[in-house]
Structure 1
Amino acid sequence: MSGFSLRFLGHSTVRLELGGRVVLTDPVLTARVGGLSRVVPPPPRESYADVDLVLLSHLHGDHLHMPSLRLLGKRTRIVVPRGAGAWLAKKGFENVEEIAPGETVTEGALEVTATKAVHSGHRWGPRLTHGPQSPAIGHLIATGDAKIYNAGDTDLFDGMADFGPVDVALLPVWGWGPNLGPGHLDPARAAKAAGLVQARAVVPVHWGTLAVPGIRRTARMRRLLADPPRVFAAEIGKQEIATEVLFTEPGADVVLPAREDRA
């Protein structure tokens, strides 16, 4: 693959350079996120100082993180799910746009189309009714040379098949706690998602970055901070899905396969 580059900055934060632009997904850039602590070093400032476009998938605090957005600057262009723009603008951000599934925004040569996601869109969780709320989304990020699927947080749904084929899918394979609530992909369902979107390659995300301080040192949490992408890769093989798993530790560049190596 050529014409773009990816760096996994941790959790659901990926730096994408494509079409002469720098895109950041769901930026989480600090040592703490609410009650969660980061278990890997925060990304260096140079990894996000030149961002042109920020894509937010939903309003949960580990995806729409105010301190991280402030690090990027209040004039940075931010695209949010439809219904969240006015709320974020009231926080002082000056360049906020909304998008709903099926709608597209452009950034230079890039086209970003929102996709459906099956996940709570409420700021404070699925069981609350007060406070900001907007539907969770994913993104298809494309130029004439490449198409990237950024799933955001979502569970499996049949409509994923309409998104493919894609060059790279950014698929969540776990979370930050000992269990997954509704609206998430575990390694087995993430493997099915890779098949549905016909991903030529997959970067496992949403793992190995954040943890509850009081339980992060337990044996179970140590396993859950390391194992999900490995289990995902095993599921890809078990389910005989034709994709390449681009296992990447938080903070590292994604090593893309050479174009001639692709089927």
Structure 2
Amino acid sequence: MRSHFLRFKLWRSSSISLASLIVLFGCGHPNQVKVSHANDYKQIINQEGRYQNAYPGKQSYPFTCDADCYQQQVTLQCQAENPAEQCRYTGTQPNVQLNSGFKVRWFGHASFEIVTNDGKRVLLDPVSQQFDWPVNWGFHLLRGFSRGLPPGLTNQVLANPDAVLYSHIHYDHFNKADIERIGNRAEYLVPLGFADHFPSGAYQINEMGWYAQHNLAALQIHAVPAHHFSNRILVPLIYDDFGKSSWNGWIIQSQGKSLFFAGDTGYSPHFKDIRRRYGAIDVCLLPIASYYHKEDGERYRNVHTTPEDALSAAVELGCKVMIPWGYGSASWKMGDHSTHSALQRLLTVRQRIHDRPEGQIPLIILNEGEEVTP
């Protein structure tokens, strides 16, 4: 079932959501939507009104692990060693002075809470469920895989953040039920074309094109490119929503420090472009999962970084420390051998390239629910 869902996720064919088959009546307060663009950059939209990657087509990669990429690690305690299933990382953190100005808490998959030194709270891709209703109901009936719920993403955490940032509309990064739990006091920062997916409720939504900037008091938030795609429709029928909304990474700047959240992305020259604009990054949150598929690995890797791609991106971004994500017991296991195979591969590869720049990047490896402080 998992492979079928992955094919759905990557389809570029006509499709329609189950949700669109149900007409919901009721009155809601209209959302407040603002759209902002960078003065010196315009995103590419084709004649069909679909957003494009900055560097479309096949990519070249700095290096690839070709053999024995998933070796058992003494720092991973797993319920099943081969493959690495339901594990806990027990290794020591690098002896680096983080001094980043950000407290980073990881809830699992792509969900983070960022707290700045001056007390601003930002949520990144907060998703506590698997699918929105009624897709979750239909998927359960079809006996699809069941995602483990992330620890710690409670009502208390979701209550009253200053800002919520979403990278794109895929179900594993955006859930409407969580928006209703968060409420309308927060500012929502999203990619272009995204606001139509929000429920009505007087939400403050800022659609931001690549390199646009939004200030939240002394906090500066920048939308930056990612190399990915968007669609939310699972059932091929009438409407094709592929590329109708964009996909972003984000840079948060506070008191002279910077944090980069890549969102879902494959490897491309856009990482170098980001470095040229914003300089070296203090903390980089980079995905390392969902790249493997025995039948269509090339296309999966095009839109998801392998662990070695993430290390190369960290070098190009000038990351002073890298925090990987995407693996874990609460992960979706889409395009992965097991819950922790991506982390297993990251540790294996890094041991082999310790003399290369990619092998010198300090890694902070978290278990779901853990945090690292400034």
TM-score, shorter chain, exceeding 0.5: yes
Contact kept, 8 Å, 1:161 with 1:198, in 2: the verdict is: no
Supply the distance in 1 between the matched residues of 2:321 and 2:343 (Cα, whole angstroms): 20
Deviation of the 1:93 alpha carbon: 5.2
1:186 aligns with 2:306: yes
Supply the distance in 2 between the matched residues of 1:93 and 1:229 (Cα, whole angstroms): 43
Instruction: Structure 2: give runs of 5+ residues left out of the alignment.
Output: 1-98, 140-145
TM-score by length of 2: 0.59
1:154 aligns with 2:265: yes
- Provide the residue aligned with 1:131 in structure 2: 241
Contact kept, 8 Å, 1:140 with 1:147, in 2: the verdict is: yes
Amino acid at match of 1:173: I
1:170 aligns with 2:290: no
Question: CA 1:9/1:177 → structure 2, altered by over 3 Å: closer, same or farther?
Answer: farther
Contact kept, 8 Å, 2:128 with 2:150, in 1: the verdict is: no
- Provide the residue aligned with 1:14 in structure 2: 112
> Between Structure 1 and Structure 2, which shows a larger proportion of strand residues?
1
Count of aligned pairs between the two proteins: 249
Amino acid at match of 1:221: S
Q: CA RMSD in A?
A: 3.0
Spell out the pairing of 1:1-263 with structure 2 (5 A cutoff): 1-18=99-116, 19-30=118-129, 32-33=130-131, 34=136, 35=139, 36-38=146-148, 40-85=150-195, 87-92=196-201, 94-124=203-233, 130-131=240-241, 133-164=244-275, 165-175=280-290, 181=300, 182-208=302-328, 209-211=330-332, 220-224=337-341, 227-231=344-348, 233-234=350-351, 237=354, 239-241=356-358, 242-254=360-372
Supply the distance in 1 between the matched residues of 2:342 and 2:150 (Cα, whole angstroms): 10
Q: Which has the larger radius of gyration?
A: 2
Contact kept, 8 Å, 2:162 with 2:186, in 1: the verdict is: yes
Contact kept, 8 Å, 1:201 with 1:245, in 2: the verdict is: yes
Contact kept, 8 Å, 1:13 with 1:28, in 2: the verdict is: yes
Deviation of the 1:77 alpha carbon: 1.5
Deviation of the 1:224 alpha carbon: 2.6
- Provide the residue aligned with 1:261 in structure 2: none
Question: CA 1:40/1:61 → structure 2, altered by over 3 Å: closer, same or farther?
Answer: closer
SS at match of 2:167: coil
Instruction: Structure 1: give runs of 5+ residues left out of the alignment.
Output: 257-263
Supply the distance in 1 between the matched residues of 2:184 and 2:213 (Cα, whole angstroms): 22
Deviation of the 1:28 alpha carbon: 1.1
SS at match of 2:313: helix
* 1:54-92 deviations in Å (ceiling 9; x for gaps): 00111101111112222211443111101112x034543
TM-score by length of 1: 0.82
Contact kept, 8 Å, 2:100 with 2:282, in 1: the verdict is: no
Supply the distance in 2 between the matched residues of 1:95 and 1:159 (Cα, whole angstroms): 29
Deviation of the 1:109 alpha carbon: 0.9
Contact kept, 8 Å, 2:267 with 2:309, in 1: the verdict is: yes
Question: CA 1:254/1:235 → structure 2, altered by over 3 Å: closer, same or farther?
Answer: farther
Question: CA 1:75/1:175 → structure 2, altered by over 3 Å: closer, same or farther?
Answer: farther
Question: CA 1:168/1:2 → structure 2, altered by over 3 Å: closer, same or farther?
Answer: closer
Contact kept, 8 Å, 1:171 with 1:203, in 2: the verdict is: yes
Supply the distance in 1 between the matched residues of 2:316 and 2:175 (Cα, whole angstroms): 30
Supply the distance in 2 between the matched residues of 1:90 and 1:108 (Cα, whole angstroms): 27
Contact kept, 8 Å, 1:163 with 1:197, in 2: the verdict is: yes
- Structure number with higher relative contact order (C-alpha < 8 Å, ≥ 6 residues apart): 2
Supply the distance in 2 between the matched residues of 1:111 and 1:123 (Cα, whole angstroms): 29
